[in-house]
Amino acid sequence: MKNLLQLLLLLTLHSGACGQNNGKLLSFSAIAPDSIFYYPIDTTGYLDYHRFVYQAERYFLDGEDALSLEVYRKVFDAYSFIFAKDAAIAAQVAAKTGALDLFLHFTEKAFRSGVMLDCLMDIPVLAQFVGGQRLKDTLEVMNEVGRKAYMASINLEQKQRYIQRYREEQAFKKAKAFESYKQAVLANVAAIRQDIEAGGFPAGRIIGIDGPFLSPERDHCQLSSEVTLISLYHYPCSYSELRELLFEEMRKGNLHPKDVAFIYEYEKELSKNGHNRFENRCQPMDKESTPLYIDWEEPVDPRTFPAANALRRAFFLPPVEHSLRKKAYAEKHGTRLFFGFGIGFFGGHR
């Protein structure tokens, strides 16, 4: 496993090899639907976690809600830590189906993962279901209990340090104090590297997801840890310098594949547009390098999807077409299926 991962990391950004899948690379692949309920989950890492979640999403997109809920339950029961956004999505599928017991089960998982009740109530399918079932009082009690368990599970002191670092960096950026901003970014990236090596990437599993105590303009329903990731977005060498660490943290479950991919995509865009205030620290990426389409603002030629999907597999992500199906589903059913930074085009029902 480790040798395959190292091979992936060596090839990911090299010209001609970027995104190739020749059978020797560790890459994302679905589990055959007819074996999903018999497939033993390898909980020594989180690669199977993401495979199962992908299959759960494929099921509800295909109208197989009951099967989707079974898969969600299987994978969530197998892992001690689950990503907050996945619990929130599973709760929406249960609500849409009218499966009250599973809705409560997945909502409890969401609360214990840091999701707040007001976030869930902002999602139309959940607001409608909860109102119809008269569940608000029950959920408020569950939220309080789950919140206590969540707060006890994270490193609150470490989280507070990163919130302060985030605020300082953003203040320098807003004031256009670029030298101070540059030093703040470098200090934050160094702190992240140190914390990775000391105990793991400081994100949802370790310091939890962003909460309402961050800047008020931030979405209270991001369900991710942008307070640390933003510094990596701002530093145009994050992926180039840290990719081995980032992929290993993804495998451990300390970082979501989408976050690793967006760090790559953001660095690529900074290189393409020449927005580099950290000269001579890393070589710029090829301006024509393959996009991942984590986010986009302008029309995209579907003929570029095969190349993008080859690279997405290397980042352990489903194909672009899967995201497009989720977007259409969200708009039709009043769900929210995309969370975190870099989801502009895929913003669900919003």
Reported as a single tens digit per residue, the pLDDT across 219-252 is 789 899 999 999 999 998 999 999 999 999 999 9
Average pLDDT over residues 287-313: 86
User: Residue 112 domain-assigned?
Assistant: yes
Q: Are residues 142 and 167 in the same domain?
A: no
Residue 283: give the domain boundaries.
156-289
Count of CA atoms in the C-beta half-sphere (13 A) of 159: 21
Q: Assess contact for 168 and 231: CB atoms under 8 A.
A: no
Q: Cα–chain-centroid distance for residue 38?
A: 27
Q: Residue 146: pLDDT band by 50, 70, 90 thresholds?
A: very high
- Report residue 280 as tokens: 């001579």
Average pLDDT over residues 314-326: 95
Q: Are residues 34 and 88 in the same domain?
A: yes
Average pLDDT over residues 148-163: 95
- d(CA 207, CA 157) in angstroms, rounded, equals 9
Cβ neighbours for 33, distance < 8 A, ≥ 6 positions apart: 55, 58, 59
User: Residue 315 domain-assigned?
Assistant: no
Strands, E, within the chain: which ranges? Answer: none
- Give the pLDDT of residue 288: 67
- Give the pLDDT of residue 13: 35
Lowest-confidence pick of 4-8, 50-54, 146-150, 226-230: 4-8
Q: What is the pTM of this model?
A: 0.89
Average pLDDT over residues 284-297: 78
Q: Are residues 95 and 135 in the same domain?
A: yes
Q: What are phi and psi of 238, to 5 degrees?
A: -60, -50
Number of domains in the chain: 2
* Percentages of the chain per state (helix, strand, coil), in multiples of 5: 60, 0, 40
Q: Residue 103: pLDDT band by 50, 70, 90 thresholds?
A: very high
Lowest-confidence pick of 24-28, 60-64, 158-162, 325-329: 24-28
pLDDT tens for residues 270-280? 777 666 667 77
Q: Are residues 174 and 58 in the same domain?
A: no
